[in-house]
Each structure stands twice: as structure tokens, then as C-alpha cells.
Structure 1
């Protein structure tokens, strides 16, 4: 199978799996938001900040290194596996021992037991990292889609069951641990690879240059993205952190559904053509235009109907998240394409440059968050973050990796400008529509009216103006459907020939 065919099939399976997981996860989040209270999410957010950071140490960037390196053998795979197992045990012990200090920092005694149970994740998670890297490297995304769908469903059922029986924040902990355990078991059943009793430090050395810089970038980038949760939880309390986390996670939905889906496919695909920068550039620009085609209207239409969306989906107790979500819709707009620059750094093997940029950018982001916390409101934190990431950093974010493949910033703007204009026009129209709808209508009726009108209007605009990304996507879908019909016709003709021959 050619690289193009593998990429297309990979995107199709990744998209199908991710759509299922995200739709199920979104429905699950609605159910849990109605069963739980903001304080539950705030407590969970306090744990997640620490746990996600420690998770970075469990992988150490070796998974991506296994995908990017042109040649690997059993020495690399088994050495990475055993290193991850040892690191996982150490991290689980450290997190369990740190639980009292975490609880004392936030002044929440319940965090001691919550943290120690979550620490179990680090004993299990390393067991499937190499298998997942192998599946990504070989672009076997069908198996990954099945595994990820299964784990989400089982973990979701566990979380809802616990929430219904009054377990509160423990239902979120149960969901986390279940996802880790089910993922490990499923990937071991799906994979034929098993570790040998081999540990070769020279094999690890082959991967270390790439992985060390990637790990360094992920570490500093993580704290730049999470310091707001830490400070809000410490200074403003669990309830404020709960509504802030809900708004932020809602903004992240398009990134998870679109950008992150493509990331799993585009990184290994671009790594295979890393010696042809011009080709990498062309594919990258087409990819971000496709991302923008979907995420730009999602973010802008959500901004235009944020109030009725929150009231409809989560209920009045989450009304405090409306203003934060409105701000973060604009953050999600440019982050949906901005996070894709990692494909360029990693596929070109320049994680060293990625680390250097990340260090400077993270310092500036942390400063902006400190300013927001000093002002004293969650809205101020969101605004400061938006100004820094969307106003100050957006140009170097694209330009520095762009130089690796000869890409200019104006080419990035050119790839998404017309799409932004269409999405903005549709958003402005439904915002105006929202001001004219009767106030006596329930929130759900207003939201459905705005959402349906906005989607239809946006589709009408891009179809009428024949936006390039839309036309390319439409023609591609038609071509794939035609190929599928052609294969079906060939099978039918073959069956008919067999029947005729039998007669």
C-alpha cells in the first residue's frame, strides 16, 4: 500500500475512532456534569495537574522517537519497554508518597487518598507504550481506533455507575484508572510484539537525542499550559477552578476531534518523506486548511451561542463558565492549527529547536497567567492567556518551524484566510439572530435554532464561494465513494460470472 493510501486509510480510521470516542465522551461529560458539582471537577483538576505532568516522565519522548527513526530493531523496542516499566514503578511510588504534600498545598485532605489511587496508573501505563508506538509507526490505525473506542466506553460506564451511586469525585478517578487498565489489556491482545529480556543502553542512545529534546519541550510546555489551573485552584478555590476547567475543556474539543486525530497520522506520514521538505510543506499547508475548514466554524459559532450552549448542555449551575468560554473560543481558533507545527519539528528531527522555542514561549505564557491571577478573576486569566498566545506568539510559532521546510507566514495565512472570513460571517449572522429570538424561548430552543442556522449558512457560503479546501475535500469524498462503488461493481460482476459459469 502506498504512503498516500496508508495516510488516507489512517485518517479515515483515526477520524472514525475519534469521532466515536469524542461523541461518546461529550455525552458522558454532559451526564457527569449533571450528576456532579463544580467542586468535584475542581478537586479532580487539582490532581490532574500533577498526574499529567508525571505522565510525561513515563514516556520520556521515546514513543515518538521510535516512530520518527528510519530504522529500529528489537534492541530499541525492548530497551524502551523495560526502561518505561522501571520509570513507571518509581513514578507511582513518588506520587503516592507526595500525596500528603499535594493535599496540604491545596488544603484539601481528600486529595491524599484520591492521589494514591490515581498513582496506580503509572504501574500499568508503561506496559503498552511500545505497542502503541509500533501501531503508529506502521500506520495501523484501525486497531488503535478499536482499542480507543473500547476503553472509552468501558471507562464511561464505570464513571456513570459510580456517579449514580453517590461516589462524587471518585467517579472521575475510576474513569481514569479504568481507561489505563483497559488500554493496556486491549493493546497486548491486539499486538503480536512481546518484549525480550534485552536492555541495550546503546540502543537507547540512538533515540536519546530526539527523545530528550522532545521530553524537555513537553515538560516546559505542560507547565505553561497548566500553571493557570494550579494558581486558580490555590488562590480562587475548587469552585472557580471547576468552571474554568469546564470552559477550557470545551474549547479543547475541536483540537481533540480534528487536530489530534490528524497528528497521529501526519507525524508518521511526514516522517516517511522527511528528506523532501518541499513535499512536507505542501502537505502541511493542505492539512491545516482542512483543519481550519472544520475548527474555525466550530469555534466561532460556539462563541456566538456560548450562553445558550452552556445553559442547555450543562445547566444553570455552570453559568459562570460562559464568559470564560467566549474568550477561549478565540484561543481555540488559532490553537487548532497552531499545535500542528509539532509535525514539522518532529518529522524533520529538530526537537532541539522545538525545545528552545518552547522554553521562551512558556516563560511568556506563565508571565501572562501570573498577570491574570494578580488581577484576581478567572476571566482575567483567560484574557491574558489569549493575548499572549494569539497576539505575541502566533508569528514565531509558525515561522520558526516553517524555515525547516521553506514555509513563510503569509503562506499559512493564505491557507486559512478565506475560511476564517466565511466562518466569521456565519458567526456574526447567528449572533445577530440570537439577539432577535424571543426571550421566552427556553435556552435549548435558542441554541438549536442558532446552531442549525449557523451550520447551514456556513456550508452555503463555502459552497457558493467555492472555497479551495471545501472543493478539495468534496471532490476527494466523491472520488473515494466512486472507487468504493467501482469495487462493489467488480465484485458483483465477478459473482455474476461465477453464477453464469456454474450454469
Structure 2
């Protein structure tokens, strides 16, 4: 019970700050999408792919190791931060130099200036790793949320102002740079990190094996998750990449922002029970149940509401994104559940098996991307092949996690998911009925809101009806408060 209370308490804090950030991000992106073209978004999307890789290089698995290792001292944190400073400056210089081969690969000199500017973001994002994970380790989720939300508000406002002044894609670039600087400074101050004299590598050596497997997994995960962006930008063009990126980002909103309400909390709490795999499994199954109850209806809702969502959040010129989003939406629920599994590998102290699982899953993802982009040369077929890969990877990842790492029966997971099939079937039938009865929505804000509101109400009613025992305690608590 204590574990559940800690998870709930942390998740509530993360939920409030995270969803405030989601709303803010949607507003900023919606405004920018109307001011900038798909090609301009595509230019930034190309460089962002490489930034993600440099973020992995800067971490080298130390972030999760800081959370996992329970006996780190202030001196250890100081030593690790000093090492991260050296790594950060080295990577920033390397990223600036990378601008020339990137410009050559994409046959566009604009990437030289863009990459050299974003080297500043690489530097400060890398410097923030140690103080941020110190805060995670201390379960200071409220502080992390306020830092990220406040920085997002300030830099989002800046980006919109710059876009109105015709700064083009540079408005997004300056937003990223200033965000990374602000976040680092606030994390550093909040973490209480004290720089001590001298340097020792004993702290790093103590987590070398754990962090090395985590780093290897992060690299594999990066290539399997970003190869599509690299190849789409090269072989289909910036406009194609802009369309594909927007579809992928909208699909990832519920994946990252629902799952990441829980996953930052799971690792630091369950790491205390790393020698008792049964407790980890029992608590994780409860989390998977919640993610399935949320994720499956959201997948169905996104599929049937794709046109309204694109028109509302991006505008009419982005309607080519609709078929891509519909295909990717089928994988939302499965990605939500899979995104939480990494924290369990980490909490169990088995980053070696996380690496093994990532290697197998990465191979299927890379094969799907190569076939979609190089053979079919189609954004929609690439999205479809990715969805198939996600389903295959779900089976692989959870077999390794549950059967091998936690020594439990993986069919307990499948039985839990099977119990959600009736509610999903009813929701699909309800949406089909709504579609046959409703007239086609007109491209006006009022009609969009009405259409989305109806679909959200249907989703809420069906989900609540089939999962009433889960929400019944809250109704009882509400009625008890009213009676007072």
C-alpha cells in the first residue's frame, strides 16, 4: 500500500504539471503551424533528429544510474557533474562540426547555420542531466514540473513573437536554445549540487556496467525511433518530413504525456525493491491496467477524430497529415504500455536485458523503416509498417521483461488486456453509429468543437461504464463531501 501511495502522490504532481505543459505546447504548436510552412518545420525536424542522438551521447546512461544507485554521496555527484561538463563541451563542438556533413547529405547549406546555433542547446541539455536526475532521485517532481512548465511558457511566447516578426524556422531554434539554458540554470539551483574540489572516478566505476547497458539501449532506441526522420528528410523531402513529423508528434502526445506522468515516478520508487521482483511485478501490473484503460480508448478516439484534430491544431494546409495520423493512432495504446517498461528494467537493475530487448525490437523497427521509405517511398506505408513493428515489439519486450527479468507469467498481462476488448468493441460501434447519424462537419471552430466534444463524451461514457469499479470510490468520496 505504501508503494501505491508514493506512486499516486508523485503521479498526481507530475500529472498536473505535465498536462499544463501539454495544453501550452498544443497552443504554441497550433499558432506556429499557422505561421510556418511544412517545409520550415521539416528543416528543424532534420536537425532535431541529430540533437536527440547527441542527448543520448551526453547521458551515457548516467542519468538512470544516479536514480538507481542508493548510496551516492555529494562528492560522487560533484565528480559525475565534472565529467558531464567535459562531455558537454566536447559534444557541442562535435555537433557544430557535424553541420557540414549534414548540409552535404541533404544538399542544403542552411543546415550549417542551423546546426551551429543548436550546438548551444546540445551543450546546456547535456549539462542539465546530472542536476535533473538528482531531483528525480529525490522525488522532487513538483520542482521539475514547475521548471519545465515555466520555461516552456516563456520560450513558447518568444517563438510566437519571433514567428510573427518573420524569423521563419529560426523562431523554433531560438526557442529550443533559450529553453535549454533556462532549464539547466533552474535545475542546477534547485538540485543543491555542490561542486567539490578534486575529481574521482569511483562513483562512475560503481555504476559502469549498469550505465553502459542503459547507454547501449538508448543508442539502439534512438536509431530505431529516428531513422524514419533521417530517411524521409533525405528521400521524400522537407515537406514530406514536416507532414510526417506533425503526424508522429500528435500521435506521441498521449504516449509521452500520459506514460511520462507515471514513468518518472516508477523508477525512483520501485528501485528500493530491486531485490524483490514479485513486488515490482505486482505494482507494475496495476500500472499497465491503468495505461490500457486510458490508451485503448484514446487510440480509437484519435483514429475517428483525426480530421478534426488536424484542422483544429494545425490548420487546413496540414490536412495531408490525416491518413498518416489515422494509421499511427492504432499503435498509441501499445506504445503507452511499452514506454513504461524501460523504468521496470531499470528498477529491477537489469539494463542488460533492456539492451537485449532493445536490440531485438530495434531490428524490427529499422527493417520496417527501410522498407517503407526506400522501397515503397510512401509516408502512409512507412507508418503502416511501423505500426506492425510496434505490435511485434510489444510481444518481444514483454516476454523478456516479465518471463526473464521478473520471473512471472506473461499471460497474466495478456489476460488483463483481453478484458478491455468488450469496451473497445462498443466504443468502435458507437463511433461508427455517430458517423452514420451525423452530417459532415464544416471547417468552422464551433463545429469542430461540437464534433470533438461529442466524440469525447462517447469515449468517456463507454470507458466509465466498463470500468466503473475503478472510479466508484471517487463517486463515493464526492457524495460524502456533498452530504457534509
Q: TM-score range by the shorter chain?
A: over 0.9
Tell me how far 1:276 sits from its aligned partner. 2.0
SS in 1 for 2:331: helix
Distance between the aligned counterparts of 1:440 and 1:225, measured in 2?
Answer: 35
**Once structures 1 and 2 are overlaid, which stretch shifts more, 150-159 or 421-430?**
421-430
1:115 maps onto 2:135 in alignment: no
Distance between the aligned counterparts of 2:322 and 2:159, measured in 1?
Answer: 26
Relative to 1, partners in 2 of residues 1:443 and 1:324: Cα closer, same or farther, differing over 3 Å? farther
Alignment of 1:86-235 (within 5 A): 86-235=86-235
Q: Which residue of 2 aligns with 1:375?
A: 376
Distance between the aligned counterparts of 1:477 and 1:260, measured in 2?
Answer: 26
- Contact between 1:327 and 1:386, CA under 8 Å: does it hold in 2? yes
Q: Which residue of 2 aligns with 1:496?
A: none
Tell me how far 1:475 sits from its aligned partner. 2.1
Q: Which residue of 1 aligns with 2:470?
A: 472
Q: Which residue of 2 aligns with 1:299?
A: 299
Relative to 1, partners in 2 of residues 1:135 and 1:289: Cα closer, same or farther, differing over 3 Å? same
Q: Which residue of 1 aligns with 2:242?
A: 242
Task: Provide structure 1 residue ranges, at least 5 long, that are not aligned to the other structure.
Answer: 490-503
Q: Which residue of 2 aligns with 1:385?
A: 386
Q: Which residue of 2 aligns with 1:310?
A: 310
Relative to 1, partners in 2 of residues 1:127 and 1:98: Cα closer, same or farther, differing over 3 Å? closer
Distance between the aligned counterparts of 2:465 and 2:333, measured in 1?
Answer: 23
**Once structures 1 and 2 are overlaid, which stretch shifts more, 175-184 or 193-202?**
193-202
Relative to 1, partners in 2 of residues 1:73 and 1:220: Cα closer, same or farther, differing over 3 Å? same
Distance between the aligned counterparts of 1:331 and 1:85, measured in 2?
Answer: 38
1:290 maps onto 2:295 in alignment: no
Distance between the aligned counterparts of 2:125 and 2:237, measured in 1?
Answer: 31
Q: Which TM-score applies when normalising by structure 2?
A: 0.94
Distance between the aligned counterparts of 1:85 and 1:477, measured in 2?
Answer: 51
**Once structures 1 and 2 are overlaid, which stretch shifts more, 411-420 or 397-406?**
411-420
Relative to 1, partners in 2 of residues 1:25 and 1:78: Cα closer, same or farther, differing over 3 Å? same
Q: Which residue of 1 aligns with 2:343?
A: 343
Q: Which residue of 1 aligns with 2:67?
A: 67
Tell me how far 1:4 sits from its aligned partner. 4.2
Q: Which TM-score applies when normalising by structure 1?
A: 0.91
Distance between the aligned counterparts of 1:352 and 1:419, measured in 2?
Answer: 32
Q: Which residue of 2 aligns with 1:326?
A: 326
Tell me how far 1:416 sits from its aligned partner. 3.0
Tell me how far 1:426 sits from its aligned partner. 1.8
SS in 2 for 1:252: helix
Q: Cα deviations across residues 119-143 of structure 1 (Å, max 9, x unaligned)? A: 0123222333222112111211111
Q: Which residue of 1 aligns with 2:449?
A: 448
- Contact between 2:311 and 2:443, CA under 8 Å: does it hold in 1? no
- Contact between 1:286 and 1:415, CA under 8 Å: does it hold in 2? no
Q: How many residues align?
A: 481
Distance between the aligned counterparts of 1:359 and 1:278, measured in 2?
Answer: 26
Tell me how far 1:417 sits from its aligned partner. 3.0
Give the RMSD, CA atoms, in angstroms: 2.2
Q: Which residue of 1 aligns with 2:412?
A: 411
- Contact between 1:300 and 1:333, CA under 8 Å: does it hold in 2? no
Larger Rg: 1
- Contact between 2:56 and 2:219, CA under 8 Å: does it hold in 1? yes
Distance between the aligned counterparts of 1:50 and 1:256, measured in 2?
Answer: 20
1:13 maps onto 2:13 in alignment: yes
SS in 2 for 1:196: coil
